[in-house]
Amino acid sequence: MKPKPVDINSNKKMSFFYFFGQKKFYIHFLIAIAISILLIWIVLKSMDLFTHHGDVYIVPDFSGYTIKDLNEKGYDEYFEFVIIDSVYYRSKEKGTVILQHPLSGSKVKQGRHVYLTIVAQSPEKVKMPNLKNLSLRQALVTLESYELLVGNLEYIQYFARNAVVDQLLDDEPVEPDTELLKGTVVDLVLGKGDRTIMIPMPFLIGLKQGDVRRKLHFNSLNLGREYFMDDDDTTHARVYKTDPETLTEEQLFLGQPVNIWYRSDELIDFHEYLQQFNPDTIAEVTNDTENKILEDEY
């Protein structure tokens, strides 16, 4: 008799399905799943530890501190400090932080880079521009672009009102292209024009100290004496009152000094304080002053 042919593929199919029916298959399958879950959990936990997942820190205000101060206080354990720029400020301590990114109050992870701008040890040098025959506004903008400061505005008899007649350093003429340190104070000699002119008192209440001198200069006035009624901390100082008085009807001479009294905005609510001044009157005085200055520029 001839042997019956055997279906090899049929046997393979039977053995394959037979394996799925065995108990140990399911045991091995469950063990594999458990091991996979465990490996995934270990990987995720390792990533959390590496990236400090969930560890969030509030960035403090580093203004006024040196890098040495920050390291001594232990901030370098949480943040990595990178100095990206330095700017010279005569009134601030050298090497201290003046700008930071991220800003104070930001939430960051441990080890985050904090980029700092500090006060330079010494100012850079710039060449004195030629301001002669420029208008006052042009001269002020030019000096700002060169990071030079404006000191006193002196008015003399000259046919072109608010035209720069001379530029002075320590009461001596300073020639164009003379090398000066950034932050050097330059005085300007300006023309009175052919006729006497009076200007309104600008509104200064609430301004910070750094903005007062600039606004006075742009209004052809000088900064007089400064009084700090609370303390000498200029960071929070804002104009509280002036002499001549704010919103006075008195007209001022070109170059007249204005005395300033400051209060701290940590002690005085300036938003509420400003409510006592009529906004329409403030706008009217501001517009009158701006128009008067623009009309008088040659």
- Tokens 């006193």 correspond to 152
- Tokens 């301590």 correspond to 93
Which residue type is seen at 223?
Answer: L
- Return the pLDDT at 229: 93
Estimate to the nearest angstrom the gap between the alpha carbon of 175 and the chain centroid.
33
List, in sequence order, every residue forming a beta bridge with 185; answer none if it has no partner.
Answer: 149
As a dihedral over the C-alpha atoms of residue 217, residue 222, residue 225, residue 231, rounded to 10 degrees, the angle is 0
Sorted by where each starts, the structural domains of the chain and their CATH numbers stand as: 56-119 (3.30.10.20), 123-195 (3.30.10.20), 197-292 (3.30.10.20)
**Sheet with 112-119, side-by-side order of all strands:** 79-87, 112-119, 97-101
Q: What is the pTM of this model?
A: 0.61
- Return the pLDDT at 18: 57
Close Cβ partners of 244 (under 8 Å, ≥ 6 residues apart): 201, 250, 252, 258
**What CA–CA distance (Å, rounded) separates 126 from 124?**
7
- Return the pLDDT at 110: 84
- Return the pLDDT at 51: 52
**What CA–CA distance (Å, rounded) separates 162 from 154?**
10
Given a cut of 50, the residues of the chain with pLDDT beneath it are: 6, 293, 298
- Return the pLDDT at 278: 79
